[in-house]
Structure 1
Amino acid sequence: MSNGKRALRLGIAGPVGTGKSSSIANICTALADEFRIGVITNDIYTDEDARFLKAAGVLPEERIRAVETGACPHTAIRDDVSMNLLAVEALEEDFDPLDIVLVESGGDNLTATFSPALVDAQLFVLDVAGGGDVARKGGPGIGRADLLVINKIDLGVHVDVDVEQMLADAKEARDGQPVLGVSRKIPETVEALAAWVREVHARFVKGDHTPVDPGPMAPHFHADETGEGGGYMHTHDEGEAAHSH
């Protein structure tokens, strides 16, 4: 199903534990018979997410590769994407043709966004277990990613979260942009996620898809693990210093 050009590059971001890797597994399982898919995972110091996906058997192992960023997760998807871009290009070259390359961010906070220089579209993953109020807190990832996934909706009853209210809050925060509630245990929700990916790929092939930049991350605080109460403010706005203490 190659379009004779490079693959569609789809970014998956979200906080730690929300189910970014399981979302990739859902996409691969649903679409592996229709598309040739490759995956690039990002972790600071490990390749654990890549190993998870390989163990799950969602794709041939050689089409799943890990990037160890060695720095803030968002740095490698927003500020300096060269490490990821080289990994994506190498994967496409080795397995030409690929139709879709999924790029998973390392776990980050609510403001993480991909640079449009790296991906053509991006989805942001929250999970019900993280709290029903998270979606309405907003931020560029929640508000302006191409798709917001509210993951693990089957857990709502177990963690006292009103899933329908969380979905409504998410839709309000996104001004009508698409929101999907997903659970790997509810097949129709996984199919809805797959259908969204199909739609984006179809527009990409036709040349009708234009990457949209959700905007830079807001200034945020990084705790210093070497000292109690220490840390520094960090900003990614153009024209500002990389770190403000």
Structure 2
Amino acid sequence: MHLDHPETYPQRHAHSAPAHRTDGTRRALRIGLGGPVGSGKTATVAALCRELRDELSLAVVTNDIYTREDAEFLLRNAVLPPERISAVETGACPHTAIRDDISANLEAVEELEERVGPLDLVLVESGGDNLTATFSKGLVDAQIFVIDVAGGDDIPRKGGPGVSTADLLVINKTDLAPYVGSDLERMAQDAKAQRGDLPVALTALTAENGVAPVAHWVREQLAAWSAGAA
């Protein structure tokens, strides 16, 4: 049962994965992307790949319940070579594979590192889920939660672990706000009230450099991760 109270959010696999491989080298930084269906998670992953692929060695793991739809989207758009994209079919609610039983995703991440490594960054995209979706700390080092203005400008106010506790909240499709009656200023204020000092990025991926705020945040995470390698 999911309870919408900060002190009772579900916590699974709360221990972080080891930062080093068995040979002592630093493994890739792992960042998870979650959010409701249609919020723009896969489009955000694609945009990040295009933005970062010339400066970083990266790979992607996608999650779908019964298909490879998200992985096939990334392949069709040639955001990365095929060997750098892996698909997990969860066969159950998406949060199961990213929080409760992370074995399939961990295996996919580790296989990617063995196949095309060394990697700087692995993006793990969840299947579309609700506002309670969070990633296990044993799977990712940081998590992004993506919502969009078309889902309703009351989403930040409703909260939930995805909105309130993700390391970065992305409010996507801001270019649609005038057409769907969403108040961006109110959404930003509500997000701030829910999240305190945790960052919020507003994005419109159809605009030039629309993913820039998210890419900047990812680079900051990578810098901190690399600094901890010593």
TM-score range, shorter chain: 0.7 to 0.9
TM alignment of 1:100-115, pairs within 5 A = 100-115=121-136
* Correspondence for 1:55: 76
Whole-angstrom distance in 1 between the partners of 2:223 and 2:197? 21
Question: In the TM superposition, what is the alpha-carbon distance from 1:186 to its structure 2 partner?
Answer: 2.7
1:18 to 24, 39, 58: 39
Aligned residues, how many?
Answer: 206
Tell me how far apart the structure 1 counterparts of residues 105 and 34 of structure 2 sit (CA, whole Å).
Answer: 14
* 1:158 maps to amino acid: Y
The one-character-per-residue Cα deviations of 1:46-68 (angstroms, maximum 9, x if unpaired) are 00000001111111122111000
CA positional deviation for 1:4:
4.3
Bigger shift: residues 73-82 or 199-208: 199-208
Which of residues 92, 97, 104 in structure 2 aligns to 1:71? Answer: 92
Match status 1:139 vs 2:160: yes
Contact map agreement 2:202 2:213 (CA 8 A) in 1: no
Please list, as runs of the form range in 1=range in 2, the aligned pairs for 1:24-63 lying within 5 A after superposition.
24-63=45-84
Q: Which gives a bigger RCO, structure 1 or 2 (Cα 8 Å, sep 6+)?
A: 2
CA contact (8 A) 2:83 2:116 kept: no
Q: Identify unmatched segments of 5+ residues in structure 1.
A: 209-245
1:85 aligns with 2:106: yes
What is the percentage of aligned positions where both structures have the same residue? 60
- Supply the RMSD in Å over aligned alpha carbons: 1.3
Residue 189 of structure 1 and its aligned partner are, at CA, apart by 3.9
SS of structure 2 residue aligned to 1:75:
helix
- Map of 1:5 onto structure 2: 26
Aligned partners of 2:170 and 2:54: how far apart in 1? 23
Distance 2:172 2:74 in 1: 17
State the AA in 2 paired with 1:13. G
2:149 partner amino acid: V
For 1:169 and 1:47, how far apart are their aligned partners in 2?
35
Q: Quick one: distance in 1 between partners of 2:207 and 2:220?
A: 21
Q: Counterpart of 1:212?
A: none
Q: Identify the match of residue 124 of structure 1 among 141, 145, 153.
A: 145
Structure 1 partner of 2:3: none
Deviation at 1:103, TM superposition (A): 0.3
Whole-Å Cα distance in 1 between the matches of residues 108 and 207 of structure 2?
A: 33
Partner of 2:183: 162
More helix by share: 2
Q: Deviations over 1:97-153 (max 9, x none)?
A: 111000001111000000000000000000011011111100111001100000111
> What secondary structure sits across from 1:18 in the alignment?
coil
Paired position in structure 1 for 2:204: 183
1:188 shift after superposition: 4.4
Structure showing greater radius of gyration is: 1
- Normalised by the length of structure 1, the TM-score is 0.82
User: CA distance change for structure 1 residues 189 and 139 in 2, over 3 Å: closer, same or farther?
Assistant: same
> How far did residue 187 of structure 1 move?
3.1
2:119 to 98, 112, 115: 98
